[in-house]
Amino acid sequence: MAETTETTTSETQSPVLSEFQERFPEAVGADEREGYEGIVVAGDHLLEVARAIRDDLGYDLLSDLSYVDYLDDGFFEVVYHAYNTHTGGPALTFKARTAREEAVLPSLTSVWPGVDFQEREAWDLMGIRFAGHPNLKRILTWDGFAGHPLRKDWQEPFYEQDEKPFKSRWPEGHVRRAEMDVPYGMNVQYPEGFTLDGFVPEGDTALYAGLGTPQTSSGVGVHQIRTDQLVVNMGPQHPSTHGVFRMAVTIDGETVTKLEPIMGYLHRNHEQIGERNTWLMNMPYTDRLDYICSMSNNLAYAITVEKMMGQEVPERAELIRILMAELTRIVNHIWYFGFFLNDLGAFLTPAVYAITERDLVLDLFEATSGSRMMCNYMRFGGVAYDLPPYVGGPAVKEGDRARHLDTMEFLKELIYERLPRVTQEFDDYLSNNEILLSRCRGVGVLPPDVAVAYSITGPVLRASGVPYDLRRADPYSLYDEFDFDVAVRYNGDLYDRFMIRLDEIWQSLRILEQVYPRLKATMGQEFWAGKRAYNVRVPAGEHYGHAENPKGELGFYCVSTGAANPYRYHIRAPSFINLTALEQMSLGLKVADVIAVLGSIDIVLGEVDR
């Protein structure tokens, strides 16, 4: 048996490995590659080993399924990360391999139903079949898509080069508009000979065929009158769906009997772009995942790569990071109040109140990082700039109005006065509102065991009575130095999912009240360790880094070969995986409540579709 590295993960795993090697002598081995960790399981024993991991070791939440194409070695590797929600601690990593030519692995949907969408994604983007998956079809790209884009031998149309920077930019400088590469030229006409008559989208036909078969109620109570089942498309453009998202629902009267989320309208193959990019170039791209929470996305990516590099971060940088991450959490949750109420039909008054508060926090983000939403603020080893001396700028343009607000005073006012006041106001305004109560209490219930089985993370999981928060379960940055509670509610309905966000804001404010004096004390200290270099080198190896984002666990699984670009850059997107349980929560509800259930998960399509 080989000890790989000295990280805490391998220490906790070695007893697991020896025990498993005794139980499954043929099937289990250590990953002995330099910089890798975890156990390698033979594909044909994967199901029983997975069951043992869940039942005997207590790793009940399968957080992430990543997949890597090792082109030179001729195999795909699927990497699973599982958590124990009772004890916390780092993830248990186990892997399975399959030959590239005939890529098949057993589906784990029977062990952890939460891998459903993730296995579909792996099939879609990498072309790995999962035997036994109930609904294995493309999820992010469309049916007519040629090939599997994350394979290393797949090339996009107008492929230029494997890795950025492209040679054509410098020193040659052949400028050309990217739009000219589109086959339709100016993109306003159809190709020659194309006609819309007789064009049949095959995927939709199959989808409706699947939905149309009337399901006699299994757990869904439909009145005993003869009714026709009807398939209705909600989306892709319904204003309350938070973006271009579609739900195909079968309804009986107004009761939902079947639901299938359809996504990918905003798919841009983020991960493949990330593998063309250098390590540093990916930072601004992470802003575009969950575009409400770009600061938290930056943090999750930065800690992942820093761990791989072995990069230390100075104290002030950590404090600024936590300040930004917690402010982002508050912004996200306040924004959620506004738009959840919009989903419930309260229209825009709560949303406008929410946006007012959000704009003040964004003023700080803008003064600090240069941008309100696409912050691109964190770097490997710190943050890009220190906090600015003042919030506001000089009047330059005609009509410009200048502000000159001292940053620390601005922060003090925000943390100690304004944000507690508005949080209390949202509480007064909404929490006891009878309409809200009758719409939310007991609706869309997600029991704790189901939530864990479906890999739900973040506030949705905690609202179901599972006190699992990565800031406590597997602390990163300086979170273990701060005093705060993991907010938890026990009913798992819409109302608890609303209230849990309120609780989390209070906890975030508690953290911020501890951060503020330390920020004052560390004024003027360094905020970036190491050299400000554009060509970051990351030693060969793999790492799965994660952070507790406002919407759930945001994870980055990166593989480096020591080159300037990541070999693999996989994202565990909380919005995407939390949608797996959407059908579970919606069955038997009325159509209007399904909108509210979707709102309560709090998704952002930039992250769902990637």
Partner 1 sequence: MYGLGILKGLGVTIRHFVDTYVDDIKWGIKRYTTDEGFEARQSPNTTGLVTIQYPEEKMAVPERFRFVPFLVVNDDDHPDAPGHDWCTSCGICAKVCPPQCIWIVRGSDPETGRPVPEPVDFYIDIDICMNCGYCAEYCPFDAIKMDHDYELASYDRTSEHIHNKARLSKPLSYWQTIAPTRAEEERLAREAKETAKALKKGRR
Residues 260-279 that bind partner 1 (CB under 8 A): 277-278
Q: Is 401 in the site for partner 1 (CB under 8 A)?
A: yes
DSSP element (H, E) containing 62? strand 61-70
Q: Is 432 in the site for partner 1 (CB under 8 A)?
A: yes
Rg (CA), the chain: 25
d(CA 52, CA 40): 14
d(CA 135, CA 51): 21
Nearer to partner 1, 392 or 448 (CB): 392
Of residues 150 through 169, those in contact with partner 1 by CB under 8 A are: 164-166, 168-169
The residues that bridge with 541 in the sheet, in sequence order, are 560
> Minimal distance in Å, beta carbon 308 to partner 1?
19
Three-state SS for 192? coil
Nearest by Cα to 120 from 544, 576, 449, 546: 576
Angle CA 148–152–158, to nearest 5: 75
Alpha helices in 127-262, H assignment, sequence order: 202-212
Of residues 375 through 394, those in contact with partner 1 by CB under 8 A are: 376, 384-385, 388-389, 391-394
Look up tokens 């036909």; give the residue. Answer: 205
Of residues 277 through 306, those in contact with partner 1 by CB under 8 A are: 277-278, 280-285
Nearer to partner 1, 370 or 475 (CB): 370
Nearer to partner 1, 102 or 400 (CB): 400
Nearer to partner 1, 351 or 478 (CB): 351
The residues that bridge with 383 in the sheet, in sequence order, are 378
Of residues 93 through 122, those in contact with partner 1 by CB under 8 A are: none
> Minimal distance in Å, beta carbon 337 to partner 1?
12
Nearer to partner 1, 8 or 349 (CB): 349
d(CA 356, CA 421): 13
Look up tokens 């007789």; give the residue. Answer: 198
The window from 20-28, 106-114, 401-409, 571-579 that contacts partner 1 (CB under 8 A) reads 401-409
Nearer to partner 1, 93 or 368 (CB): 368
> Minimal distance in Å, beta carbon 435 to partner 1?
7
The contacts of residue 171 (CB under 8 Å, 6+ apart) are none
Pattern of binders to partner 1 over 174-213, x per CB under 8 A? xx-xxx------x---------------------------
Nearer to partner 1, 68 or 341 (CB): 341
Exactly one of 79, 136, 331, 367 binds partner 1 (CB under 8 A); that residue is 367
The window from 24-32, 79-87, 353-361, 581-589 that contacts partner 1 (CB under 8 A) reads 353-361
Contact assessment for residue 211 and residue 260, using Cβ atoms and an 8 Å cutoff: yes
Nearer to partner 1, 137 or 403 (CB): 403
> Minimal distance in Å, beta carbon 373 to partner 1?
11
Nearer to partner 1, 209 or 435 (CB): 435
Q: Is 420 in the site for partner 1 (CB under 8 A)?
A: no
d(CA 57, CA 455): 17
d(CA 346, CA 471): 33
> Minimal distance in Å, beta carbon 68 to partner 1?
23
Nearer to partner 1, 370 or 467 (CB): 370
Pattern of binders to partner 1 over 228-267, x per CB under 8 A? ----------------------------------------
> Minimal distance in Å, beta carbon 173 to partner 1?
4
Report strand pairing: 61-70 vs 39-41. Answer: unpaired
Of residues 503 through 532, those in contact with partner 1 by CB under 8 A are: 532
Nearer to partner 1, 186 or 225 (CB): 186
DSSP element (H, E) containing 513? helix 494-521
> Minimal distance in Å, beta carbon 166 to partner 1?
5
Exactly one of 70, 75, 429, 506 binds partner 1 (CB under 8 A); that residue is 429
Nearer to partner 1, 220 or 346 (CB): 346
- Long-range contacts (CB closer than 8 Å, 24 or more residues apart) made by 555-559: 555/63, 555/64, 555/81, 555/300, 556/300, 556/301, 556/304, 557/64, 557/66, 557/79, 557/81, 558/304, 558/305, 558/308, 559/68
- DSSP, residue by residue, 546-602: EEEETTEEEEEEEEE-SSSS-SEEEEE-HHHHHGGGHHHHHTT-BHHHHHHHHHHH-
Of residues 436 through 455, those in contact with partner 1 by CB under 8 A are: 436-437
Q: What is the token pair recorded at 159? A: 């492929």
The residues that bridge with 405 in the sheet, in sequence order, are 391
**Dihedral, CA of residue 520, residue 524, residue 529 and residue 534, to nearest 10:** 110
> Minimal distance in Å, beta carbon 539 to partner 1?
21
Q: Is 405 in the site for partner 1 (CB under 8 A)?
A: yes
Q: What is the token pair recorded at 472? A: 């406590």
d(CA 537, CA 378): 17
Q: Is 565 in the site for partner 1 (CB under 8 A)?
A: no
Q: Is 363 in the site for partner 1 (CB under 8 A)?
A: yes
Report strand pairing: 61-70 vs 75-83. Answer: antiparallel
Q: Is 414 in the site for partner 1 (CB under 8 A)?
A: yes
Three-state SS for 499? helix
Nearer to partner 1, 290 or 548 (CB): 290
Nearer to partner 1, 136 or 391 (CB): 391
Exactly one of 15, 159, 170, 193 binds partner 1 (CB under 8 A); that residue is 170
Q: Is 400 in the site for partner 1 (CB under 8 A)?
A: yes
Look up tokens 């309260």; give the residue. Answer: 346
The contacts of residue 102 (CB under 8 Å, 6+ apart) are none
CB 531: neighbour CB atoms within 10 A?
A: 8
> How many residues make contact with partner 1 (CB under 8 A)?
73
Nearer to partner 1, 364 or 466 (CB): 364
> Minimal distance in Å, beta carbon 181 to partner 1?
12
Q: Is 465 in the site for partner 1 (CB under 8 A)?
A: no
Exactly one of 10, 13, 255, 368 binds partner 1 (CB under 8 A); that residue is 368
Q: Is 433 in the site for partner 1 (CB under 8 A)?
A: yes
